[in-house]
Amino acid sequence: MTAADPVIETRDLRVELGGNRILDGVDLVVHAGEWVTVIGPNGAGKSTFLGAVTGLVPATGDAYLLGRDVRRMRHRERARLVASVAQSPVVPPGVTVLDYVLLGRTAHIPRFGRESAADLDVVHDVLVRLELHAFTGRVLTTLSGGELQRVFLARALAQQARLLLLDEPTSALDIGHQQEVLDLVDALRRDHELTVLTTMHDLSITGAYADRVVLLAGGRVVADGTPREVITEAALATHYQARVRVIDTGDGPLVVPIRAR
């Protein structure tokens, strides 16, 4: 294992669910500190791919995390390496924000032990950075959709893993909170060489943050490159059947839908 080894490497990753081929041979290599966003139309296989990368969705082919076969990793070892937020995480009833975010420290707390002052400091810091400190005593089920989505992210960031997998992390957030959350992830990436693999439907936001965009369609990678290379009018017409104008802003492509007349 060297610094240049990929954080994620998949080879010919295939998934079948309900008799249908959902992933049809996905090869992807992601290096430390990269931000890669997987885009694609509904049902393209984006969430399935994130699940297969972490070994949670049964797949054939190879999936390596830091050179280790993900299927051979123990749960605790994987939790120290990968923090992930699913598209619709389970909301446990009766659990407060503080207790939920503390769950992110589980892999750092000795078995049968309790959280340390350092664990509480990490959690407090994340809650402040995501403007959630006023919510610590609130039960999750009383939060708004956007507040809840930030709490899910807070738990993942409290894990202090090297790899962050986020499935549509900002789908419920207003534009200000989208920026706050993604800027925080970006800062952690720069300061701690965090590697980020995310899915996203907002292509303008994708273009603003990702180094690399992977377009998945029909379970296959059909484009892989910079946002400017991948997010094109032609690709969006072909794979999303979308009529859009793509404007190059200098900070990334801006995708504007064209209304039918």
Ligand X SMILES: Nc1ncnc2c1ncn2[C@@H]1O[C@H](COP(=O)(O)OP(=O)(O)OP(=O)(O)O)[C@@H](O)[C@H]1O
Residue 97 CB, nearest approach to ligand X (Å): 26
Residue 16 CB, nearest approach to ligand X (Å): 9
Residue with tokens 């589980």: 106
Binding-site ranges for ligand X (CB under 6 A): 17-18, 20, 22, 40, 42-48
Residue 87 CB, nearest approach to ligand X (Å): 6
**What is the bridge-based pairing of β-strands 60-65 and 68-69?**
antiparallel
Cβ-closest residue to ligand X? 18
User: Which of residues 44 and 154 has its CB atom nearest to ligand X in the complex?
Assistant: 44
User: Which of residues 59 and 101 has its CB atom nearest to ligand X in the complex?
Assistant: 59
Residue 163 CB, nearest approach to ligand X (Å): 19
Q: For residue 175, which amino acid is it?
A: I
* Side-chain half-sphere CA neighbours of 253 within 13 A: 24
User: Which of residues 66 and 148 has its CB atom nearest to ligand X in the complex?
Assistant: 148
* CA distance linking residue 202 with residue 162, whole number of Å: 25
User: Which of residues 51 and 104 has its CB atom nearest to ligand X in the complex?
Assistant: 51
Residue 41 CB, nearest approach to ligand X (Å): 7
* CA distance linking residue 223 with residue 214, whole number of Å: 6
* CA distance linking residue 133 with residue 100, whole number of Å: 13
Q: For residue 121, which amino acid is it?
A: D
User: Which of residues 46 and 150 has its CB atom nearest to ligand X in the complex?
Assistant: 46
Which of 235, 156, 169, 228 lies closest to 201, judged by CA? 169
Residue 133 CB, nearest approach to ligand X (Å): 31
User: Which of residues 50 and 156 has its CB atom nearest to ligand X in the complex?
Assistant: 50
Which of 113, 100, 77 lies closest to 151, judged by CA? 100
Residue with tokens 């907002």: 202
